[in-house]
Each structure stands twice: as C-alpha cells, then as structure tokens.
A = this chain, B = another copy of it.
C-alpha cells in the first residue's frame, strides 16, 4: 500500500476519507468521476463519508496535483488521476463515456496561436462531443 505516502508527499495528512477517495481513483474502476460519482461509489461500498468532505478532498487533491479537474458540458466537474501526461477528451453523447487522446500537432498549433496573439497558455481544454458511428454503441455499459 502506498496511498499514505502519496498523501504525505502532497503535504496532506493521511485521513480516512482521503485514503478512501484516493484508493477509489487508484483502483481504476472508473477513470473520470464527478464528486457525486465518488460520493455514491463510496456509499455503495459501505464507506460513509460526507458529501462536503468529498468536494473538499477532490479540490485538495487537485491543488496537490494528484487529480486533474475537467469542466465538461452539463455544469459538473469531472476528476481523474493525474498521470502526468496531458490529454484531451472525446465524450460519447450516447452513453457519456469518455475516451482520451493526445495529438502533438494540435498542441503545437495552440501554442503558436496563443503566442502569435501575445498570450502564454496556462491551461486549455479540448472536448469533442460525438456519436458513435457503429450500430450499437460499444461504449455502452
């Protein structure tokens, strides 16, 4: 088990709710989760944490660099484990499932566009909303 060290390294003390949230993300069951998703999954597995704590912990983990937050359409934040490699997302409009991609060309062009205009990029989000073209959506659960 190395979760406690992950927390220590991030300057966060190791508490029960934090360990539960972190191991839920590290379990890999679901890569992209909203606060509500995390809350419900924890409740379902018998662990009871407060919703407010889930929100607080997610925000702390984001600030500590353990998680990355995305703002997808629909107004709710979605978090994922920060594996150090930036990527963008395709969201399936039929099942909501998320696929990741990375395109160096797109990244490079963004840099050029920004610097040509006198900006230095701090963050960016490329979200593609799409329909699966196959007969039955293979992304459906």
Q: How far is the CB of A75 from chain B (nearest CB, A)?
A: 6
Decide: B113 and A101 in contact? CB cutoff 8 A. Answer: yes
Complex Cα distance, B117 from A75, in Å, reads 26
Contact digits for A118-141, partner B, Cβ 8 Å, 1 yes 0 no: 111111111111111110001000
Describe A's contact surface by its main secondary structure: strand
Segment 52-75 of A: residues with Cβ below 8 Å from B: 71, 73, 75
Complex Cα distance, B109 from A127, in Å, reads 13
Decide: A99 and B117 in contact? CB cutoff 8 A. Answer: yes
Chain A residues within 8 Å of chain B by Cβ, number:
34
Decide: A134 and B118 in contact? CB cutoff 8 A. Answer: yes
Complex Cα distance, B106 from A106, in Å, reads 5
Residue numbers of A with Cβ under 8 A of B are: 71, 73, 75, 90, 92-93, 99, 101, 103, 105-106, 109-110, 113-114, 117-134, 138
